[in-house]
């Protein structure tokens, strides 16, 4: 894209030669509403900084949550051992046995369970216990001699207000989960009770957000990691912050701690975000209207739905598919973000992949090249907005610690958008150059895929907790022996 500060640069590429004037007019208006110019990114970064500072100071509805995570030890890469980890994402539950090899590398054996709709709506805790039970049985895992339980790290991809490294109250559900009697309660307790009900001999010794897990995994291999990000079904980030800057932290203010931003909740009031009627439609009908508005503009669960809304707006004006939709397209969340990826990537002259999604998958009537091009353009506008907003958030966090930019910085990233959306990483670098400076981005910034990072990171944190427990027990034993002597 040429001059990313002019609206024209966001409008012209989406005009279709040979299309009707009405379609082009509508595409132009739509492109303008989805545009995120450089000035807009700067405005977002400034608001991010205000909101980060306010959230570090106190819990406030108008600020980012900025949750202290109780994780304050950086991994060295030398940690060794086998650890059990659970990773509850928006789509899957993974149960893993992680091996840290002590040479900055790791391996894992994992089993993936798709989270059923029933689990998302009601019996999640029992579902988790059942899956863990299956994993233990299939891998023949039991507590070590002398112990009643297997220690485990739990990655939990929903916002919790942590009260210790092994406890935290659920602040709300998102990503379509609505399990009752959970908000405000300690999720470790809820999990642990389910383990007891199902006779699963596991003890959660650490609970971490998936972004914290990703940060820790990346740091295990790249010690200069400053941030962990998820660009997946949902989106969020965690970073190292000096405790002296965390006004609301009641404990010792020396040293540093990982802070979970919960950036999906950024600007819920939409003061600065380029919020369109298509976002509004999605938001109003979602399970959490008015919440996670930023996440709804950039993450995998929602992008397809924004695109579906925008496409239907053109259909309803008889500008696409001769005004006809299909039963499938009429239903919410049928336009998967994976279809968007296939559509955006299609560079065949007849846009064959676009045709296949529209006609074979969505069962629309036969489409012509203008229909296909228009759908591709709508997807591209929404995808581009998503990447630019993603880059804005990452840049805002890095710029909040400007002293870091003088040295190499690694960022660990995981999630389906980062892995599968066409050119996501390339575009993230490109946009970052504008706001973080070409010198820093080209010479010192490294984005790493922290694959399966959330689970591995939980194992790393669980291991440090176990080490501390063992050390504390040894110290207590020495003290008792000394007192007895």
- Please say which residue, 19 or 230, places its beta carbon nearer to ligand BGC: 230
Residues 6+ apart with CB under 8 A from 188: 154, 166, 167, 168, 204, 207
| Burial classification of residue 394, based on how many CB atoms lie within 10 Å of its CB (0-12 exposed, 13-18 middle, 19 or more buried) | buried
Q: Are 393 and 266 in contact (CB under 8 A)?
A: yes
Residues 51, 94, 279, 410: which is the catalytic one? 94
Token pair listed for 95: 């149960």
Minimum CB distance to ligand BGC, residue 120 (Å): 13
Q: Of the two residues 77 and 232, which places its CB atom closer to ligand BGC in the complex?
A: 232
Q: Binding residue for ligand BGC (CB under 6 A) from 188, 205, 206, 230? A: 230
* Rg for the chain, CA atoms, rounded: 24
Choice between 232 and 383, CB closer to ligand BGC: 232
Q: Which residues contact 464 (CB under 8 A, 6 or more apart)?
A: 73, 75, 79
HSE, CB side, 13 Å, CA atoms: give it for residue 181: 7
Selecting among 51, 87, 157, 414, the annotated active-site residue is 157
User: In this chain, which stretch among 228-236, 246-254, 313-321, 430-438 interacts with ligand BGC, using CB under 6 A?
Assistant: 228-236
Distances (CA, A) of 355 to 30, 78, 379: 22, 51, 14
**Dihedral (CA of 221, 222, 223, 227) sign:** negative
262 binds ligand BGC (CB under 6 A): yes
94 an active-site residue? Answer: yes
Alpha-carbon gap, residue 208 to 150, rounded angstroms: 18
State the residue number with the nearest CB to ligand BGC. Answer: 234
| Residue closer to ligand BGC, measured from CB, 34 or 231 | 231
Q: What angle do CA 363, 365, 368 make, to 5 degrees?
A: 120
Q: What CA–CA distance (Å, rounded) separates 369 from 386?
A: 25
* Cβ at position 180, least distance to ligand BGC in Å: 18
**Lookup: tokens for 34:** 């989805």
Q: Which of 24, 209, 226, 464 binds ligand BGC (CB under 6 A)?
A: 209
CB of 390 to ligand BGC, least distance (A): 12
Token pair in block for residue 366: 């036969």
Of 16-24, 204-212, 313-321, 361-369, the window that binds ligand BGC (rule: CB under 6 A) is: 204-212
For position 157 contacting ligand BGC by CB under 6 A, the verdict is yes
Footprint of ligand BGC on 81-110 (CB under 6 A):
90
Under rule CB under 6 A, residue 174 binds ligand BGC = yes
Which residue of the set 186, 210, 346, 414 is catalytic? Answer: 210
To the query of whether residue 107 is one of the catalytic residues in this protein, the response is: no
Catalytic residue flag (residue 157): yes
Show which residues are catalytic: 94, 157, 210
Chain positions contacting ligand BGC, by CB under 6 A: 90, 157-159, 174-175, 209-211, 230, 232, 234-236, 262, 264, 295
């Amino acid at each position: 894209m040429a001059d990313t500060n002019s609206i024209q640069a966001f409008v012209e590429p989406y005009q279709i030669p040979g299309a009707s004037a009405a379609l082009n007019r509508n595409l132009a208006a739509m492109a303008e509403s989805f545009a995120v110019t450089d000035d807009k990114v700067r405005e977002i970064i400034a608001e991010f900084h205000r909101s980060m500072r306010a959230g570090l100071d106190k819990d406030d509805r108008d600020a980012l949550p900025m949750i202290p995570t109780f994780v304050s030890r950086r991994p060295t890469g030398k940690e060794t051992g086998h650890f059990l980890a659970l990773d509850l994402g928006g789509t899957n539950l993974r149960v893993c046995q992680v091996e840290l090899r002590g040479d900055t590398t790791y391996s894992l054996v994992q089993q993936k369970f798709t989270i059923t709709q029933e689990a998302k709506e009601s019996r999640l805790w029992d579902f988790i216990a059942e899956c863990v039970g299956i994993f233990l049985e299939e891998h023949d895992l039991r507590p070590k001699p002398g112990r009643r339980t297997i220690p485990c790290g739990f990655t939990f991809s929903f916002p919790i207000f942590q009260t210790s490294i092994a406890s935290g109250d659920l602040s709300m559900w998102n990503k379509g989960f609505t399990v009752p009697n959970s908000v405000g309660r300690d999720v470790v307790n809820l999990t642990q009770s389910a383990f007891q009900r199902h006779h699963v001999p596991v003890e959660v010794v650490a609970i971490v957000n998936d972004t914290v897990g990703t940060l820790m995994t990346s740091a295990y291999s790249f010690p200069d990691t400053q941030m962990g990000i998820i660009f997946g079904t949902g989106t969020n980030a965690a970073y190292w912050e000096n405790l002296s800057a965390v006004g609301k932290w009641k404990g010792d203010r020396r040293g540093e701690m990982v802070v979970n931003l919960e950036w999906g909740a950024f600007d819920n009031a939409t003061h600065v975000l380029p919020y369109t009627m298509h976002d509004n439609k999605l938001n109003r009908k979602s399970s959490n209207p008015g919440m996670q508005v930023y996440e709804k503009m950039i993450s995998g669960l929602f992008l397809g739905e924004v695109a579906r809304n925008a496409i239907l707006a053109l259909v309803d004006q008889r500008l696409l598919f001769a005004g006809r939709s299909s039963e499938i397209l009429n239903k919410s969340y049928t336009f998967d973000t994976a279809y968007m990826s296939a559509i955006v990537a299609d560079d065949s002259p007849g846009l064959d992949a676009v045709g296949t999604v529209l006609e074979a998958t969505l069962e629309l009537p036969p489409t012509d090249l203008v229909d296909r091009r228009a759908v591709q353009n709508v997807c591209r506008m929404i995808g581009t907005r998503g990447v630019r907003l993603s880059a804005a958030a990452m840049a805002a966090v890095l710029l909040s610690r400007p002293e870091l930019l003088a040295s190499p910085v690694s960022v660990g990233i995981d999630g389906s958008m980062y892995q599968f959306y066409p050119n996501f990483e390339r575009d993230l670098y490109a946009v970052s150059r504008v706001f973080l400076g070409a010198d820093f981005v080209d010479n010192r910034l490294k984005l790493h895929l922290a694959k399966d990072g959330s689970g591995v990171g939980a194992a790393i944190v669980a291991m440090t907790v176990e080490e501390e427990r063992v050390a504390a027990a040894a110290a207590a034993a020495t003290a008792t022996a000394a007192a007895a002597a």
